[in-house]
């Protein structure tokens, strides 16, 4: 699925925010436990925690600011 999304984004010249890669980096490279990033409040493990939502929002904001600032 990630490859399909990337192919479509590249084909249409759309910037791609790689949330999965960011969260994988947190878990694999930084050792952040899965349950700190993902909540099981509904029994499905489908929703992020407040911590990870905040980190993703900050990362997206930083990327948008960088992209919109002239060199």
- Give per-residue pLDDT as tens, 23-44: 999 999 999 999 999 999 888 9
What global pTM score does this model have? Answer: 0.80
Percent of the residues in the chain that have a pLDDT greater than 90, as a whole number: 82
How many CB atoms neighbour CB 9 within 10 A?
A: 14
Query: According to DSSP H, which parts of the chain are helical?
Result: 2-11, 19-28, 34-37, 50-68
Q: Distances from the Cα of 2 to the Cαs of 13, 17, 33, in angstroms? A: 16, 11, 22
Q: What is the mean pLDDT of the chain?
A: 93
Of the listed ranges 3-7, 35-39, 67-71, the one predicted with least confidence: 67-71
Closest CA to 51 of 43, 39, 64: 39
With 80 as the cut, is the pLDDT of residue 71 above it?
Answer: no
């Amino acid at each position: 699925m990630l490859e399909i999304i990337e192919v479509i984004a590249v084909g249409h010249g759309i910037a791609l925010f790689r949330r999965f890669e960011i969260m994988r980096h947190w878990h694999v490279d930084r050792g952040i436990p899965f349950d700190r990033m993902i909540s099981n409040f509904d029994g499905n493990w489908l929703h992020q925690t407040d911590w990870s939502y905040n980190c993703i929002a900050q990362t997206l904001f930083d990327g948008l600011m960088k992209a919109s600032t002239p060199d």
